[in-house]
Structure 1
Amino acid sequence: MPRARDVAREVAKEHGVCIRPVALKRLDIHTGQSEIIDVPCGATLEAVCPPCAKRNRQLRMAQCREGWHLEHEPTITPDEPSEEQRWLVEFRADMQAQRDHALQAGEDTTDLDAVITGLNEEINAAGMRGNVLGGAVPKRNRSTRRRQDAPDLPKRKMTATTLGQTFEARNGKVYRPSLFVTLTLPSYGKIKNGIPIDPGTYDYARAARDALHFSKLVDRFVQNLRRVAGYDVQYFASVEFQKRLAPHLHMAVRGTLPRVEIKQIAAATYHQVWWPQADHAAFEGEHLPVWEQGTGYLDPDTGEVLPTWDEALDQLDADEDARPLHMIRFGEQVDVKGVLAGTPDADQCIRYLSKYLTKSLGEALDSQAQRDHAARFVEALRYEPCSPTCPNWLRYGVQPKDAKAGMAPGRCRSKAHKPEHLGYAGRRVLVSRKWSNKTLAEHKQDRRTWVLEALGQTDQPTDPHRYVWKPVPAGDANVPPLAVRLLRAVAERRRWRAHMARLQAEAEGQDLSAIREEAA
C-alpha cells in the first residue's frame, strides 16, 4: 500500500505544485501585518522538483520562440536611475575623493578601500551593471595574430542591425529564414555506444581540458560569426553532453548564412589558454606548499614564497618562446539546418533545444560501463586547474589568485570539479542580450499576466518597498507541515483551473452564438 504522504507528493506534481516550497515571512510595512508565504523552489532539474523544472523549461521555450524570428529591431533602453542609485553613486564619489586626498597625503587607505569595495557591491545589488570607474582594471593582451594552422575568415562591414536577410518569392511572399546549428568537439579515441573501445588510449586529459574551456570556445565562435555575417547576430543556445560525455552545442541563430561559411567559421575558431604550465607536478602527495599567514604559500623545502598568479603571468609574458597551456577547437562534425518561422521544423528545434535542460547528467549513466567511463573522466579532471583561483595551481608551484589558508590540490569546490558537471562550469542556456527584447523576469511576468487575465483579475503593480521578506527559521512552529502546505496548494490550483475552464467554456459559448447570429 502506498503512503498517503507519497500520494500527496504525486498529486502535487500532477497539478504543477512545487514539492519543495520555501517558506518566507512577508511583512507589510504599511499595515504591520506579517504572513508566511510558500515560494516555489525554482529548481531547474526534474530530479529535484518536476513542476518547477517543467515551468522553467516552458519559460525557456517561450523565450526561444519569441526571439528567433523577430521582424522588428529590438529596442533596449536602460531604466532611469532611481533616487537610491543616484545617492549611491554620489556617496561613491565622496569616498573616492577622500581616498585620492589620503593618497596624496601619504596616509593609509585600507579602511577607505574596504568602504569603496562594499559600495561597489551595493551599486550592483541596487540594479546597476559594471562599476563606476569602467575599465579600471588593466587587461592582459596577447598577440592577435592568427595561428598558421587556422584558416582565414572573410570579414564584412558591420551594419547596425540584429535582423537577418529576407528573401522574396515569385508570388511576392517574404521569407526570413534562420539557422539551427550543432557544434561538437573532436574525437579523443574510438568509441562504441558512447564508451571508449580502449580506455587506455582514450585521451582523457585533452577531453578534460576541452570541457573546462568549452564556454570560451563558444564565445570565440560567436565573435567570428558576427564578423563574417556583418551584423549583430543574436542566438539562443543550449549545452548538453553527448554519450561520450563531451559537451556540445545546439544554437538557434537569427538570420541566415551559407552553410559553407558556417562550417568555415567553425573550422577557423579556436581558443588558446595562456596559463602557466600545468603538465608536470612540482608538489604532490604529502609534499605540498605550506601556508604562512601574511606571506602566502611557501616551498616546503626551501621556504621560498611561491610566485603569485600575477607574477606567474608576468613570467609567461616575458618568455618569447612561451606556448599556450591548451588550445581548444571544434571537431569536423558541424550540422547546419535552415528554419522558417511557424513551421513544424521550428517547433521541433525549439523542443530539441530545451529537451535536456531538466535532466541531470547522472540520469544518462544507465550502465556500469558508462559509470566507469565517467569515473575515469572525473579522475582526469581532478588535478586540472579550472580557473585562476583553483587550488590545483599549488601542485604546479603557483599560488592561486586570492590564495587563502586551507587550499589543497585535488580539493577544488568549484562547479567544474563536481562529478555531475564533468568539467563544464558554464551555463546550460546561453542567450544573447538582444534576443527576445525581454529579460527572463519579463517573460515570467507575461505568463503571470496571462493567467490573471484568464482568471478575470488585473495585475496591479505593487510598491517594491512595501514588503520586507525574511527567511523562516527551521522548525518554526508557525509553519505548517509540508504535507498540509502541499494539500493547500493543490486545492488552490484546482480552484484556479476550474475557474479558467468555466471562463473558457463561457467564451466558447459566446463565440458560437455570435457565429450563429452572423450566419442567420
Structure 2
Amino acid sequence: MNTVNDHTLTRAARQKMPVALDVAVEVAKANGVCIRPILLRRLDTHTGTTEDVNVPCGTTRETVCPPCARRNKQLRKAQCREGWHLDHEPVTAPDPATEDQRWLIEFRADVQAKRDAAERTGMSEEVADWDAAIQAIDEEIRTAGMRGSLSGRAASRRSRSTRRRQDAPDLPRRAMRPTTLGRTFTGAEGKVFRPSLFLTLTLPSYGRIQAGRGVPVDPASYDYRRAARDALHFSKLVDRFVQNLRRVAGYDVQYFATVEPQKRLAPHLHMAIRGTLPRAEVKAIAAATYHQVWWPEADTVRFDGEHLPVWAPRADLPEGQSHPDGQAGDYLDPDTGEVLPTWHEALDRLDQDETAEPLHVIRFGDQVDVQGVLAGTPDADQCIRYLSKYLTKSLGESLDADDAARRDHAARLVEALRYEPCSPACPNWLRYGVQPKGAKPGMTPGRCRGKAHKPEHLGYAGRRVLVSRKWSNKTLAEHKRDRRTWALEALGLTDEATDPHRYVWKPVPAGDADAPSLALRLLRMVAERQRWRTTLLALDARADGQEIPAVGMREAA
C-alpha cells in the first residue's frame, strides 16, 4: 500500500515539473532571442559548403514572438526620431544607371519589339515564348538594382466630379514650395528653433459610451454599420487628410503615423508632422476632410442563407480566351437565371445615374488634439514612446478581454463587418446582387478571406505604421542595416560579401533528419546572444554618452 502511494506521489510530483523546452523558450525571451526562428540552409557556391542559419521570424506581434516584436518596435522608434526634426533636405535624386543596367533595358526593348511583331502576325506560340523571356528579363532588372515595372499597362480610372460637397467647408490653397522642412524661429538669444507637431485624429461618435470602459450604453442604438464602414475606409480618409494638409501648408509635409484602436474599438491616428502650422488651421483641415466611397448600393439584401447566386462557366468562349472582366464565368440569379451585373457594369450604371449618392461618406470626429513639439525635449521623447506604444499589439485584443461587455461589443462589431464589402473583389457583393471584381467559382457572402474581415483587425486592413517617403531619407530596411552594421563593428566582426549570386538559400523542410531540434537551436542562439551582450555592455561602460545609430547599446544588448 505504501509502495503504491509512493509511486503515485512520485508521478504527481513529476507532472508538476516544468518542460525543458518551455524553460528554453522563457530563457530565449529573457535574452531577446526569437522563439520561432525559421531554419534556412545556405549553400556557399564558392566553397560548396552548407550551413544551417536561424533567421528571426520578424513578427510585429508580442503575442507571437515578444523579442522580434520589441526589436521591430525599437526600429520604428529610431525611424521616427531620425526624421521628425530634420534640418536638411533628404537626398531624393536616384543614382545614375550603370552600364549593365542600361544594357538590360536595351535588351528588354529588343525582346519587346520581337514579341509585338509576333503578336501582329498572329503567332501565338511565339508570343508565349517571348512573354516568358520578358518575365525572366524583368526579374533580372529587379535584381540589378532598379525599381519600378516596365510591363504594367496604364490603369483606367473613372473620373468623377471634383467639386467639394456642400456640407464641407472650403480650404485655402497655398503655392507649393519645393521643400520638406517646416518654418524655423529665432529666439531672443539667436537660438534657432524648429518646432513640429504631434496630432491625434479620431472618428465620430456612433452612440453613447460608458466612461472608462469603451462599451455602448445602449448596444441596440449603437450604429455598428457606420462604425464598420468607417473602419473599412479609414486608410482612405487618412490619405485625403495628408493631401489637404500639404495643399494648405504649401510644402511637401512629411509624417510618421500609427493607427491604434480606441477603447470603443474605432481606429484613430497619432501623427508626428515635420514642421508646424497654426492649431486652428490643422483643426479646420480635419473638419473639411472627407472621403466618398463610390460603390454600388449595399444596403438592400437580395440573396441570403441558402438562396445564393449560382456559378455558370462561360462555355461559349473559345479555349484560352478570358472573360472581358477577367472571369471564366458568371454568377446567376438562382430563380430567374438572370446574369448578375459584373463589377464594371455596376459602376457604369452608377456613373450614368445623375441622382446617385456615394455608398458611404467618412469623416473625422470633432476630437482633434494638436501639440507643438521641439526637437530633443522630453516632450518629443514622450510622443515617440506614445506613437510606438501599441505597435506590438493587435487591433482586436478586446476579443479576449476579461470584461464580458467588451467581448460582446467586439463580437457585435465583427458581426457587423461580416457582410460589409471590404473591396471590389469581396464575395459579399453577391449578397447585394453584384458580381465581385474578377469573380470566380466558390465565392460565398460572409466568408471573405480579406484582412479586414479577420477578427483581430476589426475592419482596418491598412498598414499600422504610415511613413512618408522623405521622412528619414531611409527605408526601414536601411535602418535595420544601420543597426546591423554598428553591431558588427562593435563586436569586431566583418560583414560577409554581398555578392547576391554567392549563396543559395533553401528552407529546411519539417522532419529533416539533419535539422537540430528547436530546443537545441534556441540554446545555441541564447549562448551567442549572451556573448554579444557581454561585449556590448563592456563597450557601453567605456563609451557612455556616445551617439549610436538606430538604437543605443543597452537596447541592442
Alignment of 1:428-447 (within 5 A): 428-447=464-483
Give yes or no for the alignment of 1:389 onto 2:389. Answer: no
Q: Indicate the residue corresponding to 2:170 in structure 1.
A: 152
Which residues of 2 match residues 65-464 of structure 1 at below 5 A?
Answer: 65-81=81-97, 89-90=105-106, 92-94=108-110, 96-102=112-118, 104-105=120-121, 111=128, 115=132, 118=135, 122=139, 126=143, 128-132=146-150, 136-192=154-210, 193-294=213-314, 295-364=329-398, 365-459=401-495, 461-464=497-500
Kept in 2, the 8 Å contact 1:196–1:202? The answer is yes
CA spacing shift, 1:506–1:222, aligned 2, 3 Å? closer
Which whole-Å deviations, capped at 9, do the CAs of 1:419-452 have from their partners, x for residues lacking one? Answer: 1101000000000000000011110011111112
> CA separation in 1, counterparts of 2:110 and 2:305?
51
Alpha carbons 1:24, 1:36 under 8 Å: kept = yes
Contact residue 230 and residue 362 of structure 2 kept, 8 A: yes
Q: Deviation string for 1:311-352 (max 9, x for gaps)?
A: 111111111111111000000000000000000000000000
Rounded to whole Å, the distance in 1 between the matches of 2:337 and 2:133 is 35
Gaps of 5+ in 2: 1-16, 315-328, 545-557
Which segment is superposed worse, 122-131 or 179-188? 122-131
Contiguous gaps of at least 5 residues in structure 1: 509-520
Shift in Å at residue 116 of structure 1? 8.4
State the distance in 2 between where 1:387 and 1:98 align.
38
Amino acid at match of 1:137: A
Instruction: State the SS of the aligned residue for 1:361.
Output: coil
Offset of residue 92 of structure 1 = 4.5
- 1:462: Cα distance to partner? 2.2
**Which one of the candidate residues 511, 516, 525 is aligned to 1:475?**
511
CA distance in 2, matches of 1:326, 1:90: 48
Partner amino acid for 1:168?
T
Tell me by how many angstroms 1:486 deviates. Answer: 0.6
Distance 1:134 1:472 in 2: 35
Q: Is 1:8 aligned to residue 24 of structure 2?
A: yes
Give every structure 1 segment of 4 or more consecutive aligned residues whose post-TM-superposition deviation is greater than 6 Å: none
Which residue identity is paired with 1:321?
T
3-state secondary structure, aligned to 1:225: helix
Q: Distance in 2 between matches of 1:394 and 1:33?
A: 55
Alignment of 1:46 onto 2:72: no
AA matched with 1:227:
R
Structure 1 residue 305, shift from structure 2 partner: 2.1
- What's the secondary structure of 2:302's corresponding residue? coil
In structure 2, what is the Cα distance between the partners aligned to 1:84 and 1:414? 41
Report if the CA contact (8 A) 1:235-1:435 is conserved. Answer: yes
Residues 227-278 of structure 1 show CA distances to partners (whole Å, capped at 9, x for unaligned) of 0000000000000000101000000000000000000000000000011111
Displacement after TM superposition at 1:108 (Å): 5.3
Give the match for residue 496 of structure 1: 532
For 1:486, give the aligned amino acid: L
Deviation at 1:96, TM superposition (A): 3.8
CA distance in 1, matches of 2:313, 2:42: 44
Within 2, Cα distance between the matches of 1:129 and 1:370? 46
1:503–1:89 CA distance, 2 compared to 1 (3 A) = same
User: Counterparts of 1:123 and 1:227 in 2: how far apart (Å)?
Assistant: 39
Q: Deviations over 1:274-319 (max 9, x none)?
A: 1111111121111111112232212212222222111111111111
Distance 1:113 1:247, change over 3 A: farther
Q: What's the CA shift string for 1:151-178, capped at 9, x where partnerless? A: 0001100000000000001110000000
Secondary structure of 2:43 counterpart: strand
* Cα gap change, 1:120 to 1:292, in 2 (>3 Å): farther
Deviation, structure 1 residue 402: 1.4
Q: CA RMSD in A?
A: 2.2
TM-score, L = length of structure 1: 0.93
The Cα of 1:90 is off from its aligned counterpart by 4.6
Residues 1:328 and 1:371: Cα distance change in structure 2 (over 3 Å):
same
**1:396 alignment partner AA:** Y
> What residue identity is the alignment partner of 1:245?
L
Residue in 1 aligned with 2:324?
Answer: none
Shift of 1:478: 1.3
